[in-house]
Amino acid sequence: MEKNYWEGKEYSYFSHKNCEFFPCHKGADPEDFNCLFCYCPLYALGDKCGGNFHYNEKGFKDCTNCQLPHKRKNYGYVTGKYQELADLMKKARENQDVKEK
């Protein structure tokens, strides 16, 4: 089986074991915990992020039980969603432009 281009590369994994919050998710494997996406870039995708989340009573997305961006193997999944994020931001800018006119 062929490896993904990013597997084994230093830029695709970073574990900050000296962080005061490490690991920041209960039950996470500290030996396979990627801190690279400390603040998940997929949060903005709402229910299309692919992670294990729920909306709390105030309507905010609660990702406490999600480890998707923190697993070494998911680097490609997260970066593969960047075009969706760019499209989302483009749509938001277009909506803003319409409101301003």
With a CB cutoff of 8 Å and minimum separation 6, the contacts of 9 are none
Angstrom distances, CA of residue 42 to CA of 3, 31, 53, 99, 101: 24, 23, 11, 26, 30
The per-residue pLDDT for 99 is 76
Its pTM stands at 0.85
pLDDT for residue 11: 95
Q: How high does pLDDT run on average in the chain? A: 93
Residue 98's pLDDT is 77
Quote the CA–CA distance of 46 and 31 in Å, as a whole number. 28
- Could you give the CA distance from residue 29 to residue 42 in angstroms, rounded to a whole number? 21
**What pLDDT digit, counting tens, does each position of 45-89 carry?**
999 999 999 999 999 999 999 999 999 999 999 999 999 999 999
Residues 29-48 have a mean pLDDT of 94
Closest alpha carbon to 68 in 31, 34, 30, 22:
34
The token duo for 91 is: 């749509």
Tell me the per-residue pLDDT of 10-34, one tens digit each, with 9 for 90 and over: 999 999 999 999 999 989 999 999 9
Place of tokens 């709402």: 46
